[in-house]
Chains A and B, each alone.
Chain A
Amino acid sequence: EVQLVDSGGGLVHPGESLRLSCVASGFTFSTYWMTWVRQAPGKGLEWVATINEDGSQKKYVDSVKGRFTISRDNAKNSLYLQMDSLRAEDTALYYCATRAGAPADWGQGILVTVSS
């Protein structure tokens, strides 16, 4: 059974940093593209970033380019999202998900709150 466990969220001030983690199990992590999707409170889903199997290709939504970095450690079956220069509008539930196209499996989500 595919499991994705997200962690690392919390409350931070504008301009601060946070790193999200997603530990995967139940599938061969190193052969999957992986994705982060977020959802602001009461809002819809927004694709954030995607990374290929070996980390050599990364894609980002414009609003996070230059501030967020997606990465992975295949030895640890882990996906990361380093979030720097956080803004209030980054406040959201962040989900990791399998695949680059149509996400098939989703983590439980981790809340990031950016507030002064």
Chain B
Amino acid sequence: DIQMTQSPSSLSASVGDRVTITCRASQGINNYLAWFQQKPGKAPKSLIYATSTLQRGVPSKFSGSGSGTEFTLTITNLQPDDFATYYCQQYNNYPRTFGQGTRVEIK
């Protein structure tokens, strides 16, 4: 199975900040990498697929990049609505696997 490791596990940031979350795969995944946002008590929301393509309706403040085994999610101009847990997921192989999540908290 492909292991997905996110860093950091949590971070504190202020409104207006730019934050970056890293996701590393244990082997190459051909850029089949997705990002999700989840708020407490809610279903996940899909943000990005294929490493850098925004899902419909997702604002451009979210961006994804990377290749090979290292990928990043960047959020600019952090707003109160962005404080949540973010997950990466590879879909190059079965079983699909998720990172452990990164909790973005208000400083």
Interface, chain A (partner B; CB < 8 A): 35, 37, 44-47, 50, 59-62, 95, 100-109
Contact = CB atoms under 8 A, between A and B. Distances in A.
B62 interface: no
Contacts of B55: 104
B49 A45 contact: no
A67 to B, nearest CB: 15
Contacts of B89: 45, 47, 102
Contacts, number: 57
Contact of B98 (A35, A44, A109): A44
Nearest to A98: B46
A106 B44 contact: yes
B87 A45 contact: yes
Interface residues of B, number: 22
A102 B44 contact: no
25 contacts: A35-B96, A44-B87, A44-B98, A44-B99, A45-B36, A45-B44, A45-B98, A47-B96, A47-B97, A50-B94, A59-B95, A62-B95, A95-B43, A95-B44, A101-B32, A101-B34, A101-B49, A101-B91, A102-B32, A102-B34, A102-B49, A102-B89, A104-B49, A106-B43, A107-B43
A106 B45 contact: yes
Interface in B46-103: 46, 49-50, 55, 87, 89, 91, 94-101
